Amino acid sequence: MAINESLTHQLRQQARQLLEEKRVDCVIGYEPGRRRGARPAVIYEPAEADRLIWGPECVHNLTTYLHNKKKPRRRGEEPPRVGIVVKPCDSRTLNVLLAERQIERARLFVIGVACEGVTDGTGQMAFKCTHCTDRVPVLYDVLIGDPPPVSPVPDDWSDLERMTAMPPAERMAFWLAQFDRCIRCYACRQVCPGCYCPTCMFERDDGLWVDAGIEVPQKYVFHLGRALHLAGRCVECGECERVCPMGLPLMLLNRALVREVETLFGHRAGREEALSPLLFELGPEGSPI
């Protein structure tokens, strides 16, 4: 796989220093995959810093793993202090989670990486990068790399043109056909850093609106419900669509709501530490309701 040697060296130095000085208990970053590409890695010792890499295949949004670090490992201990590597789109997630009281800024050391875009599984630039307007993380404690000299192209929402041009009946038929292919594996929910409720409403035994069935109506409610829960909160990292084994165009739903929320309220999730305008309050443990 392609590795940026300069950024990888800087990243390893930073991670090693943080662990040697005991400023963090672990660092969440990337390491080479067993067969190809990169995969998430959590290191705990300075000697493990040489496992970390940076390159165009570092596509994962690592902030999802922060939910596993919110509580102490043992009773009587403090929650761990975590160093985390973030791209610009990932960094917007941190602002969302901070606003929703899911993470403590004081226990986080953010290693931002200036990014020119990452690649998908075919070696082409990931779709999310084609409309990304950020090249430097919005939140970081230290920045690795220099901002790219070329400014990103403003978001023109061209990916939504075909869907929005469809008549309502044709659009409904399109989405029903997509949802029919869903196998309810919940990979989209598991990978999403914005889905962190202790018990998902779609798996409750007494679900009023949807059960665990795999008929089209249940799948329809699941995907629309999840998209609406992310309205004003989705940072467009594209992880849900990337991991979907059936290749559902989930970002069409999310991006349509992103555009609506920005048009109506002037809010783009994660640009700053602010709650979605659609959230009236936070429930137990900061869960949005």
Instruction: Choose among 90, 84, 187: nearest CA to 138.
Output: 90
Residue ranges of the chain whose pLDDT lies below 50: 288-289
> At residue 55, what are phi and psi to the nearest 5 degrees?
-170, 180
Residue type, 231: A
CB 128 within 8 A of CB 89: yes
CA gap 41, 176 in Å, rounded = 37
What is the pTM assigned to this prediction? Answer: 0.88
CB within 8 Å of 283: residues ≥ 6 apart: 289
**Residue 165: per-residue pLDDT:** 92
The total of other beta-carbon atoms located within 10 Å of residue 89's CB is 25
**Residue 34: per-residue pLDDT:** 84
**Residue 121: per-residue pLDDT:** 73
**Residue 289: per-residue pLDDT:** 41
> At residue 41, what are phi and psi to the nearest 5 degrees?
-140, 140
In residues, how long is the chain?
Answer: 289
Instruction: Choose among 232, 236, 239, 211: nearest CA to 288.
Output: 232
**Residue 122: per-residue pLDDT:** 77
The total of other beta-carbon atoms located within 10 Å of residue 82's CB is 23
**Residue 214: per-residue pLDDT:** 74
Per-state percent for the chain, helix, strand, coil, to nearest 5: 40, 10, 50
